[in-house]
């Protein structure tokens, strides 16, 4: 029977199961012709990245579909103990950049002649600076590109923005907040900036006063919803966000149908087709064939605003892992760290809670166990273990983005479980 799914999607699935050892094994029990994307299993993120870490020049058992000969290599902001490396062909990268540039001009409020200061992180093979640089250079509206980099010190960034009159800033919230704090503490402002486009993490209401002081003429909006492994997923729905006073903290996004299929999946594994029902965001990238991402849980919770129009909102992190500021730790690493510090018996009986209070992200480890004699020392030891695994945690903490780690000792029945499956909810994001 011929597949009912679109030809481009059918071709991607066939290519992946034919040439990628990982997908060949994942789909081994399925018929050749797939009539519904939802019949494919979701990717298990831990298994995927274990396979993806295989030597790309000897990809037996790996995710890649061909030898690495004409490509770009990028890293995500994941943990240093298990780095996530992403491969794209040059053609795939340029095709993605062309889509990004066209939608950037239409969806982000870019005006002809804008001078765009790119403050994304640069170096270490991290992709943000290059990705957004290509986005600006492919912009459908004539603009001026200012590749400053967020690695520059705040005085240097300030001088460049003032000298060249930057009107738009692209930055993750961590770097932009660091710059805003520098400006406010010295009584300085950047009055030419009219638009701040944040990337990589949410913007919070408690940052508004700081940004208003440092960038008195600026509106804060998201640039896009994307990840290194899935690339572009959605751009802000400009017509729905403008005039909305909460569009900085609760924007509405529109799926980029040219690049991805986005599903929202409930705890029971069923695809959600109703508006206003929360579930895990699952992405299939239609452009990436060298390192496919098919039914890949991206790590966030969302809900449809208009499922037919592809409009949705983000509602926090999912069970995939913990992301706070620019620090990202997956579930497997969290289990390993807690077991190392607290003991092997708690690997499956703790959950991580993320809260927002007094302009800080608070991470609480809720552990179902009797408090040990050295309970007061556990939070510091946990934090030290996290920093050893991911040094960016310390940078976020020192910059005031993350409060010291907290630990709560509870009974097992006091933990939160998924209603549909009864499984432990390993990450609870209370910021949304």
Q: Are 88 and 69 in contact (CB under 8 A)?
A: no
Task: Check residue 320 and give its pLDDT.
Answer: 65
Instruction: Quick: pLDDT tens for 36-48.
Output: 999 999 999 889 9
Tell me whether residue 341 is in a domain. yes
Q: What is the pLDDT of residues 158-214, one digit of tens each?
A: 999 999 999 999 999 889 998 999 999 999 999 999 999 999 888 888 899 999 999
Rounded Cα distance between 306 and 287, Å, is 25
Which structural domain range is residue 342 located in? Answer: 320-429
Beta bridge partners of 262: 283
What's residue 422's pLDDT?
62
**What per-residue confidence (pLDDT) applies to 357?**
84
Question: Is 127 part of any domain?
Answer: no
Domains contained in the chain, number: 1
Identify whether 193 is part of a domain. Answer: no
SS3 assignment for the chain: CCCCCCHHHHHHHHHHHHHCHHHHHHCCCCCCCCCCHHHCCCCCHHHHHHHHCCCCCCCCCCCCCCCCCCEEEEECCCCCCCCCEEEEEHHHHHHHHHHHHHHHHHHCCCCCCCEEEECCCCCCCECHHHHHHHHHHCCCCCCEEECCCCCCCHHHHHHHHHHHCCCEEEEEHHHHHHHHHHHHHCCCCCCCCCEEEEECCCCCHHHHHHHHHHCCCCEEEECCEEECCCEEEEEECHHHHCCCCCCCCCCCEEECCCCEEEEEECCCCCECCCECCEEEEEEEECCCCCCCCCCEEEEEEEEEEECCCCEEEEEEECCCEEEECCEEEEHHHHHHHHHHHHCHHHCCCEEEEEEEECCEEEEEEEEECCCCCCHHHHHHHHHHHHHHHCCHHHHHHHCCCECCCEEEEECHHHCCECCCCCCECCEEECCC
Q: What is the CATH number of the domain that holds 339?
A: 3.30.300.30
332 falls within a domain: yes
224 assigned to some structural domain: no
Q: Count Cβ neighbours within 10 Å for each residue of 393-421 and write b for 16 or more, e otherwise.
A: bbbbbeeebbbebbbebeeeeebeeeeee
Identify the CA nearest to 128 among candidates 195, 77, 70, 197: 77
Instruction: Return the residue matching tokens 């200061």.
Output: 117
C-alpha pair distances (Å), 351 with each of 85, 229, 303, 406: 27, 25, 23, 12
What's the pLDDT at 337? 87
Residue 243: the pLDDT is 82
The answer as to whether 213 is a domain residue is: no
- Per-residue pLDDT at 389: 84
- d(C-alpha 139, C-alpha 360), whole Å: 35
Position 402 in a domain: yes
Query: What pLDDT, on the 0 to 100 scale, is given for residue 30?
Result: 94
Between CA 173 and CA 202 the distance in angstroms is 7
pLDDT-flagged residues of the chain (< 70): 1-4, 59, 77-83, 319-321, 345, 347-348, 418-423, 432
- For the stretch 128-159, pLDDT in tens is 899 999 999 999 999 999 999 999 999 999 99
Sole residue written with tokens 């240097």:
156
Residues 290, 20: Cα–Cα separation, whole Å: 9
Distance CA(105)–CA(86), nearest Å, equals 26
Reference 360, options 307, 390, 398; nearest CA is: 398
Place of tokens 């990705």: 131
Query: Token pair 């590109």 is at which residue?
Result: 145
Q: Does 281 map to a domain?
A: no
Per-residue model confidence (pLDDT) at position 80:
40
Distance from C-alpha of 238 to C-alpha of 301, rounded to nearest angstrom = 21
- Amino acid 77: pLDDT: 57
């Amino acid at each position: 029977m011929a597949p009912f799914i679109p030809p481009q999607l059918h071709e991607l699935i066939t290519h992946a199961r034919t040439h990628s050892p990982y997908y060949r094994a994942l789909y081994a029990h399925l018929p050749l012709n797939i009539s519904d994307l939802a019949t494919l299993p979701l990717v298990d993120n831990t298994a995927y990245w274990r396979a993806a870490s295989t030597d790309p020049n000897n990809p037996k058992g790996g995710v890649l579909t061909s030898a690495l000969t004409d490509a770009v290599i990028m890293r995500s902001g994941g943990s240093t103990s298990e780095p996530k490396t992403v491969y794209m062909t040059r053609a795939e990268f340029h095709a993605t950049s062309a889509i990004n540039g066209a939608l950037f001009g239409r969806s982000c409020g870019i005006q002809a002649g804008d001078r765009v200061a790119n403050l994304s992180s640069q170096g270490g093979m991290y992709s943000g600076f290059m990705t957004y640089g290509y986005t600006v250079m492919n912009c459908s509206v004539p603009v001026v590109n200012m590749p400053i980099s967020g690695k520059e010190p705040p005085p240097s960034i300030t001088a460049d923005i003032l000298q060249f009159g930057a009107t738009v800033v692209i930055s993750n919230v961590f770097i932009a907040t660091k710059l805003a704090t520098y400006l406010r503490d010295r009584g300085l402002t950047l009055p030419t900036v009219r638009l701040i486009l944040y990337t990589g993490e949410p913007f919070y209401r408690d940052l508004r006063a700081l940004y208003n002081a440092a960038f008195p003429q600026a509106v804060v909006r998201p640039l896009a919803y994307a990840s290194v492994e899935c690339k572009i997923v959605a751009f802000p729905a400009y017509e729905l966000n403008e005039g909305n006073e909460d569009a900085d903290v609760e924007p509405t996004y529109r799926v980029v149908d040219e690049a991805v299929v986005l599903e929202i999946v409930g705890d029971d594994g069923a695809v959600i087709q109703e508006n206003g029902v929360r579930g895990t965001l699952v992405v299939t990238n239609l452009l990436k064939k060298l390192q496919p991402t098919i039914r890949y849980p991206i790590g966030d919770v969302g809900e449809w605003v208009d499922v037919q129009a592809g409009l949705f909102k983000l509602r926090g992190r999912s069970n995939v892992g913990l992301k706070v500021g620019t620090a990202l730790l997956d579930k497997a690493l969290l289990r390993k760290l807690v077991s190392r510090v607290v003991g092997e018996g708690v690997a499956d009986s703790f959950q991580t809670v993320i809260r927002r209070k007094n302009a800080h992200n608070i991470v609480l480890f809720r552990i179902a166990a009797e408090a040990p004699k050295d309970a007061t020392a556990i939070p510091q030891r946990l934090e030290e273990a996290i920093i050893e695994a991911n040094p960016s945690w310390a940078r976020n903490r020192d910059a005031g983005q993350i409060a010291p780690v907290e630990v709560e000792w509870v009974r097992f029945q006091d933990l939160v479980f998924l209603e549909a499956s009864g499984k432990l909810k390993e990450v609870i994001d209370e910021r949304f």
